[in-house]
Structure 1
Amino acid sequence: MENILEIKGLNKAYDGFALKDVTFSLPKGYIMGFVGENGSGKTTTIRSILNMANIDSGKISVFGLDSITDTIAIKEKLGVVFDSLYLADHLNAKQIEKQLKPFYKDWDSKEFADRLKSFGLPDNKRVGEFSKGMKMKLMITIALSHKADFMILDEPTSGLDPVARDELLDILAEYIEDENRSVLFSTHITSDVERIADYVTILHDGQVWFTGTKDELSEKYVILRGAEEDISSALREKCIGFHNYRNGFDALLSTEYLDEVSDELVTEKANIDEILVYVAKEDRYERHNENDKV
């Protein structure tokens, strides 16, 4: 299976935060949900892919090309949708096309006009007056008009109403019907990832906590519940984000330890949102223990 994106050993340090040995890949023809809590490093990773951040070490390749030395060739075939419009607010769609067209050798004006029409976007209205959903559709229109084979979306559904979010997911599903295309989809709305993604990468504190297919993630973890006296100390040590309360406890548990779960305890399937919550709980628990030792 050929990868459209490969990241190996990516490191990038800022004051107070660092990406640490980030490694994952995305095959052609698939959508990857890129998730993690605020500050986990998703945007820094995307900026590194786009050569907007100078990485400290590691290697990023897109279409088999080096993200640094081949950045111009990569951006010819790469579409980017941010959570806010990166175009001049005072211009209309016609003027924006006139500005962008010279930068792309494969720009298709008919595709641009057809997409504007199908998305219900006026070509003579200032884009600063567009709704958030309209701005998102305009950025997708631009990507499709220069024949992008890889689309990166950084929090595109943030602030969108449910109808606009649903439209976006339908657009992405249609986009990857061409098996040479892929999507990296960063979002906080994990229900969108559950619905549309084939692969999931979870970042936590600048590191890859999980990367693989959505089905693998679903099969790898369960939520464990029960009375605290019914869980052994050995199994408790293997739990992630253990939380006890007056009537019992809950925690995330790898399915490799299911044979250690007693009949008194209950397991439930964990969704992506729940997994992120337990990972964050574990981090807070570890910090608390470290502070107690000081």
Structure 2
Amino acid sequence: MKSILELNNVRKEYKDFILKDISFTLNRGYIMGFIGPNGAGKSTTIKLIMNLLKKNNGEIKILGLDNIKHENEIKQRIGFVYDENHFYEELTLKQMKNATAGFYVNWSDRLYHKYMINFNLKEDKKIKELSKGMLMKFSLVLALSHDAELIIMDEPTSGLDPVFRSEFLDILMDIIQDENKAILFSTHITTDLEKIADYITFINDGSLIFSKTKDELLDSYGIVKGSKELLNDTLRESLVGIKYNKFGFEALTTETIKLRRSYRDELVIERPTLEDIMLLSIKEDC
């Protein structure tokens, strides 16, 4: 299986924050959800991948190439979709396309018109006339019209209404049917990733917590609920992020089989969501 994106011990040091030796791999044909709380290091990691920041240590390879030595070649073969609008608002979509197309040697007007029709976008519309959802679609059109192999997305569904988000996710699922492509999808909306992601990479406070397949992740964790009286030292060792409420406690565990055998009906163990795993795995007991 050929990797399209590879980070090996990537480190970035600021005065008040350190991205600590991050390593993960994304293969062709897959969508990777990139998650973590605000300030975790997601945007820093993406900027390092894009060579917008200088790393202190480590190696980043895109399409098998060093992202610094082969920056120009790499950027011809990847696309970007950001949460913020970086377009000229007074231009029409056609004018914006013309301003963009010249940067790419593999630009295809055939692909451009195909996606404009598929996404129901009109060339004579001005950028300022588009909703946020339509802007995201247009960003994706530009990213795909030079046949990008790796699509990097930073919070693309943030602020979109549920209908637009669902439609946008369907578009991504359609794109990834081309097994030569891959998508890195940074978001805080974990429910979107439950629908489309193959892999989940989670960072917190500059450290990699895990990078696993979504199914492996959801299968390996459980939400444990029970009465406070059960919380002895032995049980606590199997729990993470214990949260108390008027009914008892709730926590995360990776030892569901062991706890079911030991406590049987005394504990309720449920399948978690990605949000459960993210929030409880970084939560201090309270």
TM-score in terms of structure 2 length: 0.95
Residue identity opposite 1:235 in structure 2: L
Distance in 2 between residues matched to 1:41 and 1:140, nearest whole Å = 24
Cα deviation, 1:37-89, whole Å, max 9, x if unaligned, reads 11111111111111111111111111001111111111111010000122222
Moved more, 108-117 or 76-85: 108-117
Identity %: 43
Task: Report how far residue 229 of structure 1 moved.
Answer: 1.8
The answer to whether the Cα contact below 8 Å between 1:30 and 1:181 also exists between their aligned partners in 2 is: yes
Give the match for residue 96 of structure 1: 96
C-alpha contact 1:194 1:272 (8 A) present in aligned 2: yes
Three-state SS of the structure 2 residue aligned to 1:251 is: strand
Correspondence 1:58-207 to 2 at 5 A = 58-207=58-207
Q: Which of 266, 269, 282 matches 1:280?
A: 282
Q: Using the TM superposition, give the Cα deviation of residue 234 of structure 1 relative to its aligned residue in structure 2, in angstroms.
A: 2.1
| Corresponding residue for residue 208 of structure 2 | 208
Q: Does the CA-based 8 Å contact 1:5-1:60 persist in structure 2?
A: yes
Shift of 1:98: 1.7
Cα distance between partner residues in 1 of 2:43 and 2:130: 24
Distance apart, 1:237 and its partner CA? 2.7
Q: How does 1:40-55 map to 2 (within 5 A)?
A: 40-55=40-55
Q: Is residue 262 from structure 1 mapped to residue 263 from structure 2 by the alignment?
A: yes
Q: Secondary structure at the match of 1:103?
A: coil
Greater CA drift, 204-213 or 10-19 = 10-19
Distance 1:13 1:221, change over 3 A: same
Q: Which amino acid aligns with 2:176?
A: I
1:10 maps to which residue?
Answer: 10
Aligned length: 284
Moved more, 232-241 or 55-64: 232-241
SS of the equivalent of 1:273 reads: helix
Which 10-residue stretch deviates more, 188-197 or 231-240?
Answer: 231-240
Partner of 1:27: 27
1: distance between equivalents of 2:132 and 2:94?
Answer: 19
Contact 1:230 1:262 in 2 (8 A): no
Q: How far apart, in 1, do the equivalents of 2:141 and 2:12 lie?
A: 32
CA distance in 2, matches of 1:212, 1:189: 18
* Larger displacement relative to structure 2 (67-76 or 115-124): 115-124
Question: How far has the Cα of 1:256 moved from its partner?
Answer: 6.5
User: C-alpha displacement at 1:16, in angstroms?
Assistant: 1.9
Q: Is the 8 A contact 1:231 1:261 kept in 2?
A: no
Following superposition, the deviation at residue 276 of structure 1 comes to 1.4
CA deviation after TM superposition for structure 1 residue 127, in Å: 0.7
Q: Which has the higher helix share?
A: 1
Q: Which amino acid aligns with 2:263?
A: S
Task: Write the letter of the residue equivalent to 1:108.
Answer: S
Is structure 2 residue 253 aligned with structure 1 residue 250? no
CA contact (8 A) 1:29 1:179 kept: yes
Structure 2 CA distance for aligned equivalents of residues 193 and 262 of structure 1: 32
Decide whether the 8 Å contact of 1:80 with 1:152 is kept in 2. Answer: yes
Q: Is the 8 A contact 1:224 1:253 kept in 2?
A: yes
Deviation at 1:257, TM superposition (A): 6.6
Query: What CA distance in whole angstroms lies between the structure 1 residues aligned with 2:53 and 2:234?
Result: 43
Query: Are the equivalent residues in 2 in contact too, given 1:201–1:211 (CA < 8 A)?
Result: yes
Give the TM-score, by structure 1 length: 0.92
Stretches of structure 2 that go unaligned for 5 or more consecutive residues are: none
